[in-house]
Structure 1
Amino acid sequence: MLKRIGIVLVLLVAAIAIGLMVWEPLAAGRAEAPPPRAYDVAIARDRFGVPHIFGATDADVAHGIGYAHAEDDFETLQHVVAMTRGRLGAITGADGAKTDYVAHLLDVRATVARDYAGQPADVRALLDGYAAGLNLYAERHPEEVRLARLFPVNGQDIAAGFVLRSPFFTGLENVLGALGEGNDLPAERALPDAPNVTPAGPPEIEKGSNAWAVAPSRSDDGATRLVSNSHQPWRGAVAWYELVVHSREGWDFAGATFPGAPYPLLGHNRTLGWTNTVNRPDIIDVYRLNMAGEGRYRLGGREIALTRRRVWLPVRWGPFVLPIPREVMASEHGPVMANDRGHFAIRYGGRDQLRMVEQYYRLTKARDFAEWQRAMAIQGIPGTNFIYADARGNIGLFYNAAFPARRPGFDYAGILPGDRPEAIWRGIAPWSAVPKNINPTSGYIINANHSPFVAAGPSSELRRQDFSPLLGIEEDMTNRGVRSIELMEAHPVVSQATLEAIKFDTSVSRNSWAGRWFEAMLALDPQGDKAVADAQALLRRWDWNYDGQGPADALAVLVLREGNRWHYPRKEQADPRVALKQSAEHLARHFGRIDPPLGELLRLRRGRVDLPLDGGPDVLRAMALWDVEKDGRLAVRHGDSFLQFVEWDREGRVRSKSINPFGAATTRPRSPHYADQAELFVAKRFKPTWFDPAELRGNITRAYRP
């Protein structure tokens, strides 16, 4: 036995040595650092540790953003940078290698190499400045660097992060996951059990958010109001990071960003603001290739060779990083994946371009509605709704997407014939074709990840018949969407207090899918099962509200989560009996009863902080996903995240307030700002944004230059 083990160890060491000899030449090269430059930037931390970054130029500010964010979350930033280089697997192992494979499949670096030099000079300066900020932090803190040769990074690395991550807010992970597993591709493009291939988080994450905009005609005091209520993971590569920026070039903005982005991605400046909610139009098409032999496919009477490349995926295994070879393929349609069912090509709106990098920046610099719309017309951001408001009282919903310029005659919801050249669309629909609901007569706009045809109340909606079915506009309705309209219609005049009460509403509408889901459970025949009968009896006492006050709230939260597992991903409805029984069994097992208070079940846990929560999945006080911990409690990890209320008064003066679930120091447990916002978040209270530097002066706890 010992001899056999020794032989295995020798073979393993030999394999590792051979692998390293192959891999090291591929990984040894360092990227070029951005051109040297002296940056004029200062960082002021407010009482909650939020960085306020001041620079002479916008590029100086971007440098400060990179450095400040690294101070608070260098771990995640390294993951993002490694991802853009196809080296995430070298840090996180097999899961990261899946993302690295996708980066190669989409040929992200080739897109950047082709288009980067053509970006405007101010955009490249911004990207380089941000990269230089990360490099400076890495140089000063070498003990925190996780991966050799990861630094320095440059502007192309930062741009690559946008190219890689953007498609995953449009559902690309579902298609890639299904093709990788050899699963069916149903028309709705939502697929069960897809592996985690997305840099935007695990596939089960329900990319959600709520948003409201209220015009002066609807408000009680003539103000314009905007509510940003994003639902993102509370940690990781797409967790929000709050910041405020000011430059002497006129860049003034308060909002939040993701790790790896050199500017805020949503929030407000002095005259306008916006927020985003994920939308799910069908902008991804899949083609079954007609193969003509090894590595060749038929297209319009021609035989064409697939483009094939061997790539190496670094995978951490204990103390070693092993290179794993994989092949990536492409056709004229787009990237190609093969499984037991054949070869499939993928084409999606907004692919193979870098325009989103400039677009986000121009949005933050816009000073009026016309400028902002010109930035939107760049059409670089492939998906997500934009909900807009400004100091002049304009509000609007923009169902933004890179809609493919499809030709009629094909079923784009199914698998397309890969040998028909006319099925391969070129380009995207013009900005004029994008659905927009601007300044509705109702005086309000809402969205909660549902159809754009329900956004402003019965008298002010867009008409479905005005838009081509080839756009693939979604028809989904969430409970949050139904409930938002109900609440806004119930208040002819909306005050600040009313809007806050609406945002924190914890109710389920009987008119929503969730209402029908609960009715199905109450209608079950218990068939002599006491557990089912007892759970039904408790649910009949429920007040349809997750406010933590009723005895059935905990059971109802678990039941709603089981419902949302099938409803949001557009799967077939689950068995209500199984969902009800399993939910009751969880409570009985861990609490000895099926009616514990909701706050004992649903928790905000971070370090030593352990606080009760209310709300639940698909309600406006969103607690969407959680980790089931050893004690049976549910530690929320996804739901209400960065929350910002913005107001422009009658004179056009802006003020805002915000809150996050934890704190600014995302991965720094020893920081006083690791969880210092948690109690406010649980209590549904806010902190000032201190957007005006004059207001900030008395609330600075630390000021320094990087």
Structure 2
Amino acid sequence: MRGLLAIAAAAGLVVLSQVPTAATTQDARYSAVVRWTEFGIPHVLAADFGGLGYGYGHAFARDNLCSLEQSLLTVSGGRSAVFGPDADAGDALSPMPVKNLDSDIYHRAIADDQRITQLIAQPAPLGPTQDVRQLVSGYVAGVNRFLHDTGVANLSDPACRAKPWVRPITELDVYRLAYAFVQFGGTGAVKPLIANAAPGTTAPPPALPESASAGSNAIAVGSAGTKAGNGVLLANPHFPWAGDARFYQVQLTIPGKMDVSGGSLYGSPLVGMGHTRHLAWSHTVSTAQRFTMFQLSLTPGDPTTYLVDGKPEAMTRKEITVPVGGQSTVTRVLYSSRYGPLVASNWTATSALAFKGANTGNVRALNEWLEMGQANSVAQLRSAQERYQGVPFLNTVAVDSAGVAYTADASVVPHVTDEHAARCVNSPLGKALYPAQTVLDGSASACAWGSDPDAIEPGIFGPRATPSLTRRDFTTNSNDSLWLTNPAAPLTYPRIYGDVATARTLRTRLGLDQITGRLQGTDGLGPAKFDLNSMQRLFYGDRNHSAEQARDAVVALCRTEPLPASACAALAGWDLRADPDSRGAVLWREFWLRAVKTPGLWTVPFDPARPATTPNTLNTAGVRQALVASVQRMTDLGLPFDAPLSAAQRTEIGGTPLPVPGCTGEEGCYNVVGSLPTGPLGADGRFPPVTFGASFVMATELTATGPRTATLLTYSQSTDPTSPHHNDQTRLFARKQWVSERYTPGEISSSRQLRVDVITGG
């Protein structure tokens, strides 16, 4: 403890308060200094990983204990008993609705087979490293310390105050939360299908997207693209604003060992995207498939036995019981094969589908993110990724102070080569679904996943197969495949990673256009090339690329139709931005969400030789009805055609409705905000409230004297409505402002709102 206070004193900190503890200073197992700066951002300082977790857990619980406790209900399979079996489970990352009962069945099946317990019992690299174990142990102790000192009856957040389901957390809980997150895009994406599987469930498989609804933008600019010859990064993850997938901003420091600042997912004791002194990184959602299905050939007369190489194998049968309130329970029988669980789709008398996810053995992602938080170069980050191979469903975009820019899909991907798919996708169902989904022949053992000699575990691609690009100008991704991460160096890879030489989304095209304009200095943001200021301005440019491509054609169409002149004038006078005061943006979105469904939307098709500018030229005849219907809709609602965007686009996250900038991905916006799914104007004359989009935004320049960073947590730090940090950054977002990050001890100590807590305990 004295050593930690000495570290704090050396950092120029004056301890303003000390959280009391029953332990003596000499007996304290954990010690941390938590420095609070503007907007409730904690900077945790400790001498070891146990103390670091302790300080972070205590700080996070103060802001978000109720959210954490609800997440624990989910991963322990206890939602039905508290909230009822038929209520929405609030699974923000799932591409399909999930009821509490289905969620509970899924999570209890994992708990009953002790899968996570077995995974964390392994030694590193497959199991947690000692540093991760100590961090998790301290984090749990810190959360429980806050809960013990405060008391359930005295919690400030009414969402869980005095609730019987609030309890101390365990280390297993933290690993369960991490495991649930890495299953996104894998087994977690099909919870209802796994939970309801039974012979005779013959519905067709759902049209699952290759990557589910979350997404992101990221830009890494290297020495050839920056004014100072260093590195600049933009992190712009598009994640839900409510539920389990929110970010919390934190700095975690062990002097001489780690000093990382960035965004941490709720319930995670480490930073998932952020920066160190010489490295900055972010993630985007990868297009690679996280799972395949295997079509089983069933033995005649027995729908729970299947054939492999002509020999019968019995499915594993497991009963799962879930409390649903009072003394009532529900029991279901789940079936599994050598490939994985059966799903509630196409289970006939002769055939069934089994589901195999690539991340079912993955808790090592924690190791990788903790080591990335200690890296100070792209080379060190890549080393961590090759050692642990644990990033679950994400691309990585990074840059270092030497000006090396890097993008890779270093995620966990089933080892299915194009040759493998050509040989084993051989059924009518498989051929109908491929390549969007991969259904392999489960009757042949030769169709099981392959492997690479450098892979950390069988069945996945190893690091040498990873699509990656290192450049000195830039790399970028906006959720398309990595084919065009830099147009000067297109990438190729197996089809299971994503498509190649196909049309890019309007958001990807806008990102490339913005980067090109900045490198050439033709974007109106000052002299050519990037620095921190120009990256900030790029993000808040709020350009609407669909309108940039098609607005003039729509105005010309409008003027030839018997439509109100004021509607045509509103579009003609629009600034093509998604600022709160942009007039014409409401009518455009109402039109575009209809128009984008038009077959043959563009008359000039995609050209692989011009991937950033094609397709183009709007098919005005095809979108005529969309324009007429949109004008009529606004007329019926009594909305002026030139109503500002703020009249229709607001968020209610944080309690007070606030207009926010940005627009939908469908419109080709970079600063994505909206709802899931995206919706048109409602009866109240507004779009559905913003609950998704830009979340933890970070612009970082890695200068010779250290990082200069601007951040924004769009929905703010705390889910507690009584907290002063419940919507303070949301108000900044509404005004298109930033938070100037405090990273060095001097910057932290100079905060006018500085509060320093010393937290010790056992």
**Shorter-normalised TM-score: what interval?**
0.7 to 0.9
Counterparts of 2:297 and 2:498, CA distance in 1 = 26
Q: Is the 8 A contact 2:701 2:708 kept in 1?
A: yes
Against the structure 1 CA distance between its residues 550 and 149, is the aligned structure 2 distance closer, same or farther, given a 3 Å change threshold? closer
| Structure 2 contact 35–42 (Cα < 8 Å) conserved | yes
- Are the aligned partners of 1:105 and 1:335 in contact in 2 as well (CA < 8 Å)? no
Residue type of the alignment partner of 1:190: P
Q: Does 1:498 align with 2:505?
A: no
Task: Kindly indicate whether residue 504 of structure 2 is the aligned counterpart of residue 477 of structure 1.
Answer: yes
Q: Does 1:616 align with 2:626?
A: no
2:204 maps to 1:184: yes
SS at 1:397's partner residue? strand
Q: Distance in 2 between matches of 1:171 and 1:562?
A: 33
Cα 1:233–1:598 shift into 2, 3 Å:
same
1:326-337 mapped onto 2 (5 Å cutoff):
326-337=332-343
- Letter paired with 1:100: D
Give the counterpart letter for 1:401 in structure 2.
S
Change (3 A) 1:277 1:339: closer
Match of 1:296 in 2: 305
Is the partner of 1:101 in helix, strand or coil?
A: helix
Rate the CA distance shift 1:266–1:92 in 2: closer, same or farther, 3 A.
farther
Shift, 1:608, TM fit = 6.0
The aligned runs of 1:506-545 (5 Å cut-off) are 506-509=542-545, 515=549, 539=571, 542=574, 544-545=576-577
| Aligned position for 1:463 | 491
1:388/1:323 CA distance change after superposition, 3 Å: same
Which residue of the partner structure matches residue 470 of structure 2? Answer: 438
**CA deviation string 1:334-383 (max 9, x = no partner):** 11123464332111222223211211111112233332112111111221
Alignment of 1:632-671 (within 5 A): 632-634=685-687, 635-649=689-703, 651=704, 653-665=706-718, 667-671=719-723
Deviations 1:290-347 (A, max 9, x none): 222042222211211111111122335xxx4742212222110111123464332111
Distance 1:357 1:314, change over 3 A: farther
Once residues 256 and 508 of structure 1 are traced to their aligned partners in structure 2, the CA distance between those partners, rounded to angstroms, is 27
Distance 1:671 1:330, change over 3 A: same
CA, structure 1 residues 299+579, in 2 after alignment: closer, same or farther (shift >3 Å)? farther
What displacement does 1:232 show? Answer: 1.4
Q: Which amino acid aligns with 1:451?
A: S
- Counterparts of 2:235 and 2:222, CA distance in 1: 15
How big is each residue's C-alpha offset from its partner over 1:387-443, in whole Å with a ceiling of 9 and x where there is no partner? Answer: 101122111111232222223512363433321211221511111111111125xx1
- Which residue number corresponds to residue 14 of structure 1? none
Contact 1:274 1:387 in 2 (8 A): yes
Q: Percent identity?
A: 22
| Range 411-420 or range 55-64, more displaced | 411-420
Residue aligned with 1:401, SS: coil
Identify if the C-alpha distance between structure 1 residues 225 and 336 changes in structure 2 by more than 3 Å, giving closer, same or farther.
same
Quick check: 2:552–2:572 contact (8 Å CA) kept in 1?
no
Residue equivalent to 1:453: 483
For 1:639, give the aligned amino acid: G
Relative distance call for 1:472 and 1:212 in structure 2 (3 A) is closer
Distance 2:590 2:184 in 1: 28
Q: Are 2:392 and 1:390 equivalent residues in the alignment?
A: no
Q: CA separation of 1:367/1:190 partners in 2, compared to 1, >3 Å: closer, same or farther?
A: closer
Change (3 A) 1:422 1:541: farther
Equivalents in 2 of 1:521, 1:402: separation in Å?
A: 47
Deviation at 1:267, TM superposition (A): 0.2
What's the C-alpha RMSD, in Å, of the aligned pairs?
3.5
1:555 counterpart (587, 591, 610)? 587
1:41 and 1:54 in contact (8 A); partners too? yes
| CA positional deviation for 1:171 | 8.8
Aligned pairs for 1:36-435 within 5 A: 38-93=29-84, 94=86, 95-96=88-89, 97=100, 98-104=102-108, 110-118=114-122, 119-140=128-149, 141-143=151-153, 144=155, 148=164, 151-169=167-185, 173=189, 183-185=203-205, 189-190=208-209, 206-248=213-255, 250-292=257-299, 293-315=302-324, 320=326, 322-339=328-345, 341-342=347-348, 343-377=352-386, 378-406=388-416, 407-408=420-421, 409-411=423-425, 413=435, 414-426=438-450, 427-435=459-467
Deviations 1:209-231 (A, max 9, x none): 11111112211233311111111
Q: Partner of 2:403: helix, strand, or coil?
A: coil
How many residues are aligned here? 637
Cα contact 1:106–1:335 (8 A) shared by 2: no
Distance 1:128 1:421, change over 3 A: same
SS of the equivalent of 1:132 reads helix
- Secondary structure, aligned partner of 2:716: coil
SS across alignment from 2:35? strand
User: Could you tell me how far 1:681 is from its partner in structure 2?
Assistant: 1.5
Shift of 1:254: 0.7
For the Cα contact (< 8 Å) 2:412–2:461, is it kept in 1?
Answer: yes
* Residue 595 of structure 1, CA deviation: 3.2
> Which whole-Å deviations, capped at 9, do the CAs of 1:560-587 have from their partners, x for residues lacking one?
45577999xxxxx9x9677656654553
Residue of structure 2 equivalent to 1:587? 634
Q: Distance in 2 between matches of 1:621 and 1:678?
A: 14
- Distance 1:326-1:471 versus aligned 2 partners, 3 A rule: same
Structure 1 pair 165/463, CA: closer, same or farther in 2 (3 Å)?
closer
Unaligned runs of 5+ residues in structure 1 are 1-35, 192-202, 568-572
> Would the aligned equivalents of 2:661 and 2:733 in 1 still touch at CA under 8 Å?
no
1:608-666 CA-to-partner distances (Å, cap 9, x unmatched) read 644333320020122132797874334311112111111112x252121211224222x
Equivalent pair of 1:170/1:281 in contact (CA under 8 Å)? no
Q: Which range is displaced more, 41-50 or 98-107?
A: 98-107
Cα distance change of structure 1 residues 53 and 550 upon mapping to structure 2, 3 Å threshold: closer
| SS of residue matched to 1:386 | strand
**Residues 353 and 521 of structure 1, relative CA distance in 2, 3 Å threshold:** farther
Distance in 2 between the 1:421 and 1:138 partners? 51
Give me the TM-score of the superposition, normalised by structure 2: 0.76
